[in-house]
Structure 1
Amino acid sequence: MSTAIMSESSGEQAAMQHYLVCGTEDCHENGQFYCNDCHRPLCEQCRDEHGKIPDTKFHEIVLYRHRKHQLPVEKCKLHPTRNVDIFCKECKIPICSKCSTMKEHHRHEFNDLEEIYTEKYALQQGEFSKIQKYFLPNTKSLKSDIEADATKIHKLMESIRTSMKAEAESLKNLVDEVSSENIDHTHTMEKSLLEMLKSQETIYDDYIAYLGKMSDELEQHLSLTNHKLLFSETLKIKIIPETTKPVDPVFTASQFSKHDVAKLLGRVNISNAEPKKRKIQPMEAVTTHMKSTERQFEESKEKSDVKQTLSLSSSVTKVREYSVPGVGNVYHVSVEKSGRLWVSDFEGNLVQTDLQGKQLQKIQTSGRTQGYHTATQDGDLIYIDKDKRVIFRITPDKKITEFIKTGDWTPLSVHSSRMNEGILMGMFKDGKAKVTRYSKTGKEIQNIQRDNQGQELYMYPRYITENINGDICTSDWNKDAVVVVNKSGQHRFSYTGQGSRFPPYGICTDVLGHILVCDNYSDTVHLLDQDGGFLSFILSPQQGMTYPRGLCVDDENNLHVGQYGTNIVTVYKYLQ
């Protein structure tokens, strides 16, 4: 089996190392222990033998992760054939053992330089851990908070500008309305005045006609031939009728300024409230959280009856095979606590079998090449109806009920959490994708879609699972990557395989925090540590593996693998 492992330190994490094996000659077992005196890894059997040999029985042997780091080799300047391995406390310099016998260091106190190195290494490792687990995540969170505030401010100002334009438009409409009414009033006033003047013209037209008539009568009276009129009554002329001049309308202009208009329209101001300081999570809370996570891990291991010495086996052993009736290709596998299987294929057939492979139930679904079903701690099965955008629950008595509706989002993959009994779901809509966390009652409590830089985390989350540390691990075939975020939704890493292409399918994790994922391109199953470090190809074509699709680890730490082109689920033992 091709094997490789990642070390605990960051520098070692960056470079691939050969799989950690026992340092004893001709022993190829897993070196899970370490001799601090010999500086070499040991398997369990060699550790026991190491303690029986007189020359080594008093050596300090610890778990590999608690090992003392070997002092870097540095030659003494005074004695080039010797290595520097002692620290002179008085002179405060590193020296070799021969230097310690020289008169310059007579009666001086010395310390083991390797002890100092180990202590300093641990301190620096602690500081590095603080950067990775406290300072960097908190700083990125603050930056993300600032970016969110900037987006909020932009949206708020756009809203204010829209309101101001609407108010100005409203005022303009009122001005136009009042102006129009005033102009209409001038027309009414003009009409009234012109009608009055017209009536006055009529009065004078009538009076002019009257004067003409009077002139004719007076001419007759003055005629010498008409003597009778001389003795008649003298004609009296009516006085000229009086009329009044119209009072001229006067326009009184309003006296207003730009300031008056500004007061009418309102103004945007910054509040006098004291700015609130951004909340920085105290380091103690992170330490408590880390301890809590470690405690959850220990409790989880106890519940699963896992021994502290459980580790990777040096080889993978086939335990058994199931032939699942009613399915063509095994694309996803869910294992109940009872050991019964749920298997789905490309055609949407979802089949339940017992431990002997006998079909118990068969349901036609809209699922195809996704991890669209999951077994819960209560013994139920949850599965996705992609077309209806509904999540259904099947109880042990075969009763099917509607559980969750996803609205506009199309559900793709689902996983029932063993840590909090909640539900994780990968979803897709209009070219966007996200992961949503639901409570065990189906209430939506978290959405994960973008990283701290605002970039989309997912394209098509085909399979999804959860690790023992709360990480959400998603197999995204369209991104050619396994995308991992922590329980808060912050991006931790993306694993992109070991070759030129990496189209991942089924994904699962085990009680030791390993991530296992199917590689459709190389027909292998990759084994990663929980930080994304490649450990090995746990299954490959050399072991008969072709087109791996579905993966699941049961409560007995057995790996169930389904393959394209067959209805067989193969069970392997890879932990010891």
Structure 2
Amino acid sequence: MDPRYSGQDVIRCDLCETAVVQMHCDFCHVNLCVACIGKHVSDDYDKHKVVPFKQRKSTLIYPKCATHQTKSCDLHCRECNIPVCSLYTVSNEHEKHKFLVLSEIYGEKKKSVRKDLTELENNLSPTYKTIVIDIETQMASLDGDYGKLTEIVTKRGEEWHREIDRVTQEKKIEIHEMKNKHLGILMQHLDKIKQVQSLIDKALLSLKVIDESNNVTMALEYTSRTEEFSQLPHKVQLSLPTFSPQNINREEIYKLFGSITPIFTKKEDGYRPKKQVAVAKILLEEPELITSMNTGYKSLRSVTCLSEEEIWSEGSVDAIKCFNIQGSLRKILGTKSGKPPNDISVTIDGYLVDTDWKTRAVIKVKDGQIEKVLKLQGWVPNQLCVTSNGDLLVTMYNEGFAQSKVVRYSGSTEKQTIQFDDEGEPLYSRNGYIKYISENRNLDICVADYKASAVVVVSQAGKLRFRYIGQCSTTKKLPFNPRGITTDSQCQILTSDRINNCIHILDQNGQFLRYIDNCDFKDPYGLCVDKNDNLFVAEYSTGDVKMIEYIIHISHGFEGDIPECLPQGDRKVQECYVTRCRRQRVT
């Protein structure tokens, strides 16, 4: 097995590089097989310390004496604070000095080193990693948070624009009404003038007839109306309305528009070292089936959950179903394309996301509202997961089924593509087969590549860390057949083995830990783990979702450091902790 692609290769001899290591030279720090021991000590150097490999570092390597070159320093001069050999005890240079045994000083220093190592490894280093993740999470969320703030300000501006448009329209209506009133007054006055003008026209005609006639009677009957017509009407002069705008006070508008609170920086003791004395989580010897619910799917593929009240599942029909822990159906969502999705997941803020292979899109749904997050060109989305900072990791294949890759998205923006290793070779099998994906707590990206019969794990930067290709077992004789994959709070990786009807549990470095094979699995497929490290298993052929407890959470009982696992042989201790720490069962 190529050690570059395995987290489980054995340690080899440093000389021949092929045989399994059995011995170790404590002086030269060289790993040896039995055949190479003679070759290593053949130089007649009498300082070689060859010991069994498990007992390496058991022989102390003392410093050489600077004065007596054939001697090693096995004492320590307290007054001079330097290591010395035994010959110095009788020298004049160190007369009346007190000497300490160097091995005893070494032992005390070793205790201090181990104490610091434990503190740094178990408490401080994980705490700083958590701090880094916390800050990176805050940084990653800035675009979204400030985008929401910008959206609020934009909506406020739109409200003001709508209000200004409304006021403007009302003023326009007011002007139009004033114009009509002005026009009515002028028309009424015009009608009166035209009536008088009509009488004048008639009088002119009568005068012309009388003037041209010799009829005495007509002349005698004539009565003059000139004086009446000489009384001209009053002139009607209406003033036009004017608009008097108020001065625009920018500062007042700025205040009325709303205020934005400034950034407030407060230093507080928010971080605490991760003390393992408080909580320990160990694998149960016998994982336990807590509950089982039937989804009604004939081919159940994926399961994901945000809480015990929202367990989402999808299968071979165009409907995504939500159940609670008791198995009661809460809601059903149809797909936009009318085809079954390839996979589903739930975002941190409670949105359901799914991949729609028919439209080549990733869809987000909440409260019945469907939003297209992204649409691919030339590629088909397969499986997906939501990362700790809200990004999307999507496995996909191209239209010709010749390439596969993993792409990270922030919203609809592509941030990272993971496709090849450092030698330019494909990381994943070149086809459109199932490739379930999950992000580990240490930010590794874990893919269950069904066609390659392997779990492929890369770092956050996309560098290959290891491939897990199954565990040799007398009880699991069929080829490793990974389908679903998930990770828990311990950075352990869990993958379903459909053909062997079991779950493989690996540590974060790809080392096999154990199987879960005692829960009567039938076609285990999709997997997910909730915040309490309860495992949910989707069974393809039965349509059942099984909830499995495989970890004990220990929070009380030990004083001092808690070991990584309880003694396997001490059943009383285990049963005590199981009784004390196991949560309330679902009935």
After TM superposition, the score normalised by the length of structure 2 is 0.49
Q: Note if contact 2:435-2:483 (Cα within 8 Å) is conserved in structure 1.
A: yes
CA distance in 1: counterparts of 2:452 and 2:7, whole angstroms: 27
Match of residue 327 from structure 1: 297
Correspondence 1:293 to 2:129: yes
Match of residue 379 from structure 2: 409
Match of residue 172 from structure 1: none
Change (3 A) 1:93 1:565: farther
2:72 to 92, 95, 108: 92
Q: Note if contact 2:448-2:483 (Cα within 8 Å) is conserved in structure 1.
A: yes
Match of residue 282 from structure 2: 312
Match of residue 515 from structure 1: 493
Match of residue 424 from structure 1: 393
Q: Note if contact 1:86-1:94 (Cα within 8 Å) is conserved in structure 2.
A: no
Question: What is the SS of the residue equivalent to 2:326?
Answer: coil
Question: What is the SS of the residue equivalent to 2:129?
Answer: helix
| Aligned-pair CA distance for 1:87 | 4.7
1:386 to 324, 346, 357: 357
CA distance in 2: counterparts of 1:72 and 1:89, whole angstroms: 27
CA distance in 2: counterparts of 1:437 and 1:519, whole angstroms: 26
Give matches, 1:26-425, under 5 Å: 73=55, 87=62, 91-92=71-72, 107=99, 109-112=101-104, 293-296=129-132, 309-318=279-288, 320-337=290-307, 339-347=309-317, 349-359=319-329, 360-364=331-335, 366-367=339-340, 370=342, 372-395=343-366, 397-417=367-387, 419-425=388-394
Q: What per-residue deviation string (whole Å, max 9, x for no partner) do you get for residues 115-151 of structure 1?
A: 7778999999xxxx9xxxxxxxxxxxxxxxxxxxxxx
Correspondence 1:438 to 2:409: yes
Q: What per-residue deviation string (whole Å, max 9, x for no partner) do you get for residues 521-574 of structure 1?
A: 32110111111111111x11x432232111110112111111122122111112
Q: Note if contact 1:84-1:94 (Cα within 8 Å) is conserved in structure 2.
A: no
Q: Note if contact 1:436-1:448 (Cα within 8 Å) is conserved in structure 2.
A: yes
Output the aligned Cα RMSD: 4.3
Correspondence 1:525 to 2:477: no
CA distance in 2: counterparts of 1:450 and 1:524, whole angstroms: 30
| Aligned-pair CA distance for 1:451 | 0.7
Q: Note if contact 2:435-2:449 (Cα within 8 Å) is conserved in structure 1.
A: yes
1:475 to 448, 457, 476: 448
CA distance in 2: counterparts of 1:553 and 1:522, whole angstroms: 21
CA distance in 2: counterparts of 1:523 and 1:74, whole angstroms: 41
Identity of aligned residues (%): 26
CA distance in 1: counterparts of 2:323 and 2:289, whole angstroms: 18
Which runs of 5 or more structure 2 residues have no equivalent in the other structure? 1-5, 12-51, 66-70, 76-84, 90-98, 138-270, 473-477, 553-587
**One-letter amino acid of the structure 1 residue matched with residue 129 of structure 2:** T
Match of residue 468 from structure 2: 495
**One-letter amino acid of the structure 2 residue matched with residue 553 of structure 1:** V
Which runs of 5 or more structure 1 residues have no equivalent in the other structure? 1-10, 17-69, 76-82, 96-101, 130-287
CA distance in 1: counterparts of 2:55 and 2:362, whole angstroms: 61
Change (3 A) 1:407 1:84: closer
Q: Note if contact 1:465-1:474 (Cα within 8 Å) is conserved in structure 2.
A: yes
CA distance in 2: counterparts of 1:491 and 1:12, whole angstroms: 11
CA distance in 2: counterparts of 1:325 and 1:521, whole angstroms: 22
Q: What per-residue deviation string (whole Å, max 9, x for no partner) do you get for residues 70-129 of structure 1?
A: 996489xxxxxxx8569578543679xxxxxx97796564124667778999999xxxx9
CA distance in 2: counterparts of 1:381 and 1:327, whole angstroms: 19
Correspondence 1:484 to 2:453: no
Q: Note if contact 1:523-1:547 (Cα within 8 Å) is conserved in structure 2.
A: yes
Q: What per-residue deviation string (whole Å, max 9, x for no partner) do you get for residues 357-398 of structure 1?
A: 222114355347x5x110111111000110110111110x12
Q: Note if contact 1:480-1:503 (Cα within 8 Å) is conserved in structure 2.
A: yes
Match of residue 582 from structure 2: none
Q: Note if contact 1:330-1:343 (Cα within 8 Å) is conserved in structure 2.
A: yes
| Aligned-pair CA distance for 1:470 | 1.1
Change (3 A) 1:104 1:433: same
2:420 to 450, 464, 478: 450
CA distance in 1: counterparts of 2:300 and 2:275, whole angstroms: 29
Correspondence 1:555 to 2:524: no
Q: What per-residue deviation string (whole Å, max 9, x for no partner) do you get for residues 487-528 of structure 1?
A: 111111111111472221000001110000011232110111
CA distance in 1: counterparts of 2:279 and 2:116, whole angstroms: 27
Change (3 A) 1:338 1:73: closer
CA distance in 1: counterparts of 2:108 and 2:8, whole angstroms: 24
Change (3 A) 1:73 1:356: closer
Change (3 A) 1:543 1:341: closer
Say which one has the larger Rg: 1
Match of residue 202 from structure 2: none
CA distance in 2: counterparts of 1:72 and 1:333, whole angstroms: 44
Q: Note if contact 2:524-2:537 (Cα within 8 Å) is conserved in structure 1.
A: yes
CA distance in 1: counterparts of 2:293 and 2:480, whole angstroms: 28
Q: What per-residue deviation string (whole Å, max 9, x for no partner) do you get for residues 219-265 of structure 1?
A: xxxxxxxxxxxxxxxxxxxxxxxxxxxxxxxxxxxxxxxxxxxxxxx
Q: Note if contact 2:534-2:548 (Cα within 8 Å) is conserved in structure 1.
A: yes
Q: Note if contact 1:71-1:117 (Cα within 8 Å) is conserved in structure 2.
A: no
| Aligned-pair CA distance for 1:325 | 3.6
**One-letter amino acid of the structure 2 residue matched with residue 487 of structure 1:** Q
Change (3 A) 1:380 1:495: same
1:567 to 534, 543, 566: 543
Q: Note if contact 1:335-1:552 (Cα within 8 Å) is conserved in structure 2.
A: yes
**One-letter amino acid of the structure 2 residue matched with residue 435 of structure 1:** V
| Aligned-pair CA distance for 1:337 | 3.5
**One-letter amino acid of the structure 1 residue matched with residue 389 of structure 2:** N
Q: Note if contact 2:62-2:73 (Cα within 8 Å) is conserved in structure 1.
A: yes
